[in-house]
Structure 1
């Protein structure tokens, strides 16, 4: 009996040690899925993620030919009736697209019909001018004869009475005035008819020139490449790439590009709520969907100053250009990429899980455990990334916080 009692007494300290060890073991749970989390200092990047498209920083543009963008032709949109596949490697002069000729041909036919009418009008105007001026010249000739008759009467009137002399003198003066009037009328009518003929001739010259431009525009509907490269087609107003049977506007004439991939960029769009966070020179980590085992670095080189509506977004977005720091042969134009724009970097700062942060009276708090006591601790947070956040004020390394606070403190 005494022996068993001694064993029991000796076993009590061991039991106490085991209980204490178990208690501390539970207290030291630090995994994010457990009850407690021990705050540790670390590094965290504040990142904005956006999807972009790989492009060459420099590219040769292939626009709707200038012959078709002539405003006198009144061609505002043209249909793409055929095109090569995007990404095709082409040589200088190779065919890439055929644009519809129908509207151009119809307009040219209308102008040709107008030209025929103008030709007839010009011939009629010239005939009318000849007839009218002939009549006026005959009138001048008759007036001159009348003047000569009156001159003879005036010369013979010296043998008559003074009243008769006065009468013949007035008749002669009237005949002189009539001759001058006929001459003036002739000159005025000659100028008028000349201008009328010139208007017809000018309109005909314009029509002939316009028909010639229509013919050149029809010839230009077959689009070829100005140099070697990889064909990347342009986009319409909604941001969708052109395809066969699409309409392309002469006010937005970019049909395709031949990108120079020696310097690579990513063209992306950032929401207006995030655009103020980033600046030129911010570093960017870039991953390519088609190259899952590779990553690239770059930096922001351009931020648009004006927002725009863009397909796939429910708010205004700003165009952002990211330049790759390196390039290789695996990067192809048109590849989809993810841009992780680092707008702020924290070093040696307390890092905690976002799920351990709560809101109380419009302030962010955590439940701090010190010893056996649990208190609400206000915290000021910085950037977030992948479920973690930086603590700017309120915690320090080694503090213990609860992942799930007691129900009576919520």
Structure 2
């Protein structure tokens, strides 16, 4: 009985020792989790931004210039039908059909106007012929009168001086009348020429407008200028072109569609103005795709916009950034979304600490070191940061123990 009691007591003591040791270990473990030992290692920081894939080179399909000719007075047209967005097309394949009813109506109106103008021209030519013929007959009769007066003047030498004077004046008056009629003839001739020329110009202009309407009817059916994948553009309000929608005929506007060449690929993305100073042309980028699981393609920044712009998806100014991919992939399609990880820092022998070890005061960065059970506030210079760690440029060395959440530690 005594032996059994002794065995129970020993077992109880051992159990207590184990519990106390486990509790002490847990305290020690909890205590150690509040420190981070600084070591050199691989450090990477990235700036992540969404982008849109496109071909480096794309053939635009603009609005045909003839449709935007102001002489036709057509400002917008309805889309009757269009090819499937993202479809591969060959040169000459159908892209979009625009409603030509306005064009047909305008051409009919102009054809009626041409008939009127041609009738006016015919009448102007007839009037000109009749009027000038009459004036020429009038000049011819005036010349006959002058001949008669000349004979009378020659016979007046046998008459009195007064009669001779009268005959001279009559002859001179007849000469002046012929000169006036000839001047009037030239003036009338020029006047009628101008009237006929203006009428001919109206006929010519009307004929040219009809020719433009005919060209516009043919241009209302738009085909692919090259082989490629058709990507339809957007109107001024940002909506993508679609069936039964309206499209502006302004030829200097955005293209109706583009045919990107996907042999060389870019990703268009936007970077907030607070981050734009962190990146530079030539920075490396890792590009992945939501639609292509496991596909990662390296690239680099090709260009950065010099001027910021407003964007509907951001609450601040953004800068457009073009990323050039090192290679293409058969699964890549125009307008596909991409995940762009711009590499800000990639060092093999870097010092870094957890972000929650850094204290910011008055624009400077500090950490608290644990030295011989004492806390020591230390100024540090930091670099880039990722989701967990921040790079230390100066102020720390390998082996230093930094306190995590030092403000909580104080409390």
Same fold (TM over 0.5): yes
- Residues 193-241 of structure 1 show CA distances to partners (whole Å, capped at 9, x for unaligned) of 1121112112211211221121121122122223433222223335543
Residues 344 and 384 of structure 2 are in contact (CA less than 8 Å); yes or no, is this contact kept in structure 1?
A: no
Cα deviation, residue 254, structure 1: 1.4
Residues 90 and 226 of structure 2 are in contact (CA less than 8 Å); yes or no, is this contact kept in structure 1?
A: yes
Q: Which whole-Å CA distance do the structure 2 matches of 1:151 and 1:273 have between them?
A: 105
Q: Which whole-Å CA distance do the structure 2 matches of 1:207 and 1:367 have between them?
A: 88
Q: Would the alpha carbon gap of residues 175 and 409 (structure 1) be closer, same or farther in structure 2, given more than 3 Å must change?
A: farther
1:323 aligns with 324
1:337 aligns with 338
Cα deviation, residue 305, structure 1: 3.5
Q: Which whole-Å CA distance do the structure 2 matches of 1:158 and 1:76 have between them?
A: 83
Unaligned runs of 5+ residues in structure 2 are: 1-16
Q: Which whole-Å CA distance do the structure 1 matches of 2:160 and 2:58 have between them?
A: 103
Q: Which whole-Å CA distance do the structure 2 matches of 1:44 and 1:242 have between them?
A: 46
Q: Which whole-Å CA distance do the structure 2 matches of 1:323 and 1:408 have between them?
A: 47
Residues 311 and 318 of structure 2 are in contact (CA less than 8 Å); yes or no, is this contact kept in structure 1?
A: yes
Q: TM-score, normalised by structure 1?
A: 0.85
1:28 aligns with 32
Residues 238 and 311 of structure 1 are in contact (CA less than 8 Å); yes or no, is this contact kept in structure 2?
A: no
SS of the equivalent of 1:236 reads coil
Cα deviation, residue 401, structure 1: 2.3
Q: TM-score, normalised by structure 2?
A: 0.85
- Residues 41-64 of structure 1 show CA distances to partners (whole Å, capped at 9, x for unaligned) of 333344332222112222333222
Q: Which whole-Å CA distance do the structure 1 matches of 2:372 and 2:246 have between them?
A: 73
Residues 232 and 241 of structure 2 are in contact (CA less than 8 Å); yes or no, is this contact kept in structure 1?
A: yes
- Asked if 1:226 corresponds to 2:230, the answer is no
Cα deviation, residue 296, structure 1: 0.9
SS of the equivalent of 1:157 reads helix
Cα deviation, residue 348, structure 1: 2.1
Q: Would the alpha carbon gap of residues 135 and 318 (structure 1) be closer, same or farther in structure 2, given more than 3 Å must change?
A: farther
- Asked if 1:40 corresponds to 2:44, the answer is no
- Residues 237-267 of structure 1 show CA distances to partners (whole Å, capped at 9, x for unaligned) of 3554322233333222512222222222212
- 1:10-21 mapped onto 2 (5 Å cutoff): none
Residues 239 and 310 of structure 1 are in contact (CA less than 8 Å); yes or no, is this contact kept in structure 2?
A: no
1:5 aligns with none
1:151 aligns with 150
Q: Which whole-Å CA distance do the structure 1 matches of 2:237 and 2:42 have between them?
A: 40
Residues 370 and 376 of structure 2 are in contact (CA less than 8 Å); yes or no, is this contact kept in structure 1?
A: yes
- Residues 19-74 of structure 1 show CA distances to partners (whole Å, capped at 9, x for unaligned) of 99887655532xxxxx2222333333443322221122223332223432434334
Residues 286 and 339 of structure 1 are in contact (CA less than 8 Å); yes or no, is this contact kept in structure 2?
A: yes
Q: Would the alpha carbon gap of residues 113 and 370 (structure 1) be closer, same or farther in structure 2, given more than 3 Å must change?
A: farther
Q: Which whole-Å CA distance do the structure 2 matches of 1:41 and 1:239 have between them?
A: 50
Residues 350 and 391 of structure 1 are in contact (CA less than 8 Å); yes or no, is this contact kept in structure 2?
A: yes
Q: Would the alpha carbon gap of residues 302 and 179 (structure 1) be closer, same or farther in structure 2, given more than 3 Å must change?
A: same
Aligned-residue Cα RMSD (Å) equals 2.9
Q: Would the alpha carbon gap of residues 89 and 370 (structure 1) be closer, same or farther in structure 2, given more than 3 Å must change?
A: same
